[in-house]
Amino acid sequence: MGVCNHTKLYVCALHPSRGIFTGVGGLAFRASQSLQAEPPKKKKKTDPKQEQLRQHRYLKRLKKLQYKMGKAELKPVEEMRVDRALLDESRKRDLPEIPPEEQERRALLLKRWSKFKFAQHVAETRLIEGAIKAQEKALNELRTESEELYQQAIKTDNSLFPLEGVGPTHTPAIDGFDKKVIDGEYVDVTRQYR
Amino acid sequence: MAAHYRFPYLRILALTQSAYKMKGSLCFKNNLVFPKHQICRFCSSSDTETRPWQLMSGVCVERYPVISQTHNSIEEEFKEMCNMVEFESSVLSDHEIQVRKDRDRMKKRKEGELEEEAGDDGEVMTALDLEDIALEKLKQFQAAPRETSADQENDTKSINRKLADKLVLLVKEKIGDKTLWILPQGYRDTGESMREAAERVLNACTIENRMKVKFVGNAPVGVYKYKYPEDIQHKIGAQGAKIFFFKAKLMQGDFMQRPDVGISEYKWVTREELDSHLIKGYSDTIKSFILPVSL
């Protein structure tokens, strides 16, 4: 049981975290929760006509703005939904059923694939961890040599980003290929919405 | 070796002595034993205090792969299966629908059911004709070969060799009395940061503006320490050198060797070929921060 100095009330041990006094104190004074709240604000009496007028003016202003901007063009909501034309029965392929041996082969291949991919992931993680360790070791060595050099080394390099790179393609670039002579003109038909 | 010792730690001492057969591998001071491969402040000779280490910056210039790796057998199998599954779960495309229609029309015309429409003189382009034209055009296009002439000649100086792999620049330099293959390295001047030293080292090796690289960050990626032999230690006054490596990505151009620098030769090698060129400890250090392209 603790004593709250300025109020000289006992703070009940049953509610140590809330510090709410709900028991009978020395003064037989009960403090309820509502006493801790602020008294509610007085409501201003508004003239309903005035209120209506105000609303009316506001809506008129908005409509004027809308009129100035022009009619809204409805953007299509592109959902993950198949195009209606493709659901037609005439589009279905007529293929024979997959034999059970083929199904078996596919299931086993999937298992082998997941094993292969997991092994690849583990190996990659190990390599990356090794690289991180090597860098940490280098930084520790640098620190033992000179604190100043270490501080310079751990500064962020602002010239690094934005970093651009061209990814690997299936075949290398053709020597002497003129990029300006592109065979295949096209017209960009992407719809632009406001 | 199963001698009796009053104190068990002395027995362990004797065992370590026999285990470490390397010359000068242990140093004794105040009845304590330290293996010498650890930095040992107590193992200095009596006339000099601990000598400092010289700092050097090394540069690892990498030419990233230009083409994609070839698939191994399981990847090929899986790719084929994925294609089959995709085909089976697909519907007919517009082109296939048109082919079907054309085929039916041809059949009807042969059987005489379809009348010759006005203006339809049988020269209409069918969908299959369009397909054939497209395939012809594709055949005319010659892509560059994946295996270049550099691959066939095994020209290790060329940057066009092994396009599917990452290439690393190695130079041959004289270190002490031996010529070794190493990554380009140089001592750090006073007032330089380690990265600035690395940039200077690289610029010193190559002719200006022939090679464009992008250094990756201010922090070194690895460190290699080597101790000088005793006579060199006395001469230079340093215990050895610590080489801090920095990574750089080759953006453009090729390495053009400067004739006046102490480099006798250079090579662009893949990660697998590193072992055959470098000494073991150095090679292990470098391989930890040069990640392979495929595992």
SS3 B172: strand
What is the rounded distance in angstroms from the CA atom of residue A82 to the CA atom of residue B45? 82
Is residue B88 within 8 Å of residue B275, measured between CB atoms?
A: no
Closest-CA residue of A relative to B69 is A170
| B244 C-beta neighbours (distance < 10 Å), count | 27
Q: Is the confidence at residue B215, as pLDDT, over 60?
A: yes
pLDDT in tens, B85-94: 999 999 999 9
Phi, psi of B179 (to 5 degrees): -105, 125
- Please judge whether B219 and A139 are an interchain contact, meaning their C-beta atoms are less than 8 angstroms apart: yes
Residue of chain A whose alpha carbon sits nearest to that of B218: A153
Residue B203: partners with Cβ closer than 8 Å, 6 or more residues away? none
What pLDDT is stored for residue B22 in this prediction?
A: 43
pLDDT of residue B40: 47
Confidence of residue B24 (pLDDT cuts 50, 70, 90): very low
Contact between A127 and B291 using a beta-carbon 8 Å cutoff: yes
**pLDDT reported for residue B27:** 45
**What sign has the CA pseudo-torsion B184, B185, B189, B195?**
positive
Sequence-distant (6+) residues with CB within 8 A of B97 are A90, A91
A87 vs B40, more confident: A87
Contact B295 A120 (CB under 8 A): yes
Is A172 within 8 Å of B193 when comparing Cβ atoms?
Answer: no
**Band of pLDDT at residue B21, cut at 50, 70 and 90:** very low
Mean pLDDT for the stretch of residues B49-60: 89
The dihedrals phi and psi of B102, each to the nearest 5 degrees, come to -60, -40
Residue B56, CA distances (Å) to A112, A136, B34, B240 in order: 48, 18, 27, 10
Q: Do A93 and B216 touch (CB under 8 A)?
A: no
Q: Could you tell me the pLDDT band of residue A42, with boundaries at 50, 70 and 90?
A: confident
How many Cβ atoms are within 10 Å of A107's Cβ, its own excluded?
9
Q: How far off is chain A from B68, nearest CA to CA, in Å?
A: 5
pLDDT band, residue B275 (cuts 50/70/90): very high
How is A14-64 classified by DSSP, letter by letter?
Answer: TSTTT----S--TT--PPPGGGGSPPPPPPP---HHHHHHHHHHHHHHHHH
Question: pLDDT tier at A73 (50, 70, 90 boundaries)?
Answer: confident
Q: What is the mean pLDDT of chain B?
A: 84
**Distances from the Cα of A90 to the Cαs of A97, B96, B97, B126, B263, in angstroms?**
19, 11, 9, 20, 72
Residue B216 pLDDT greater than 60, yes or no: yes
A182 or A151, greater pLDDT: A151
pLDDT over 90, % of chain A:
46
pLDDT band with cut points at 50, 70 and 90 for residue A37:
confident
Which of B12-16, B114-118, B160-164 has the least mean pLDDT?
B12-16
Output the pLDDT for position B1.
47
Helical H runs in chain B?
Answer: 8-19, 73-88, 94-110, 127-140, 149-153, 194-205, 230-236, 274-277, 280-289
What distance lies between CA A122 and its chain's CA centroid?
Answer: 27
Say which residue, A79 or A105, is predicted with more confidence. Answer: A105
Whether A10 shows a pLDDT value over 90: the answer reads no
pLDDT at res. A57: 95
CB B187 within 8 A of CB B202: no
User: Is A132 a residue whose pLDDT tops 90?
Assistant: yes
Higher pLDDT, A83 or A125: A125
pLDDT tens digit string along B139-157? 998 899 999 998 889 999 9
The pLDDT value recorded for residue A137 is 96
Mean pLDDT of A49-76: 89
Q: Searching chain B, which residue's CA lies closest to the CA of residue A90?
A: B92
Name the residue in chain A with its Cα closest to that of B137.
A183
- Total beta-carbon pairs less than 8 A apart between chain A and chain B: 128
What are A98-112's pLDDT values in tens digits? 999 999 999 999 999
Q: What percent of chain A has pLDDT over 70?
A: 77
Residues A1-18 have a mean pLDDT of 48
pLDDT at residue B148, as a whole number: 92
Shortest distance between the Cα of A171 and any Cα of chain B, in A, equals 6
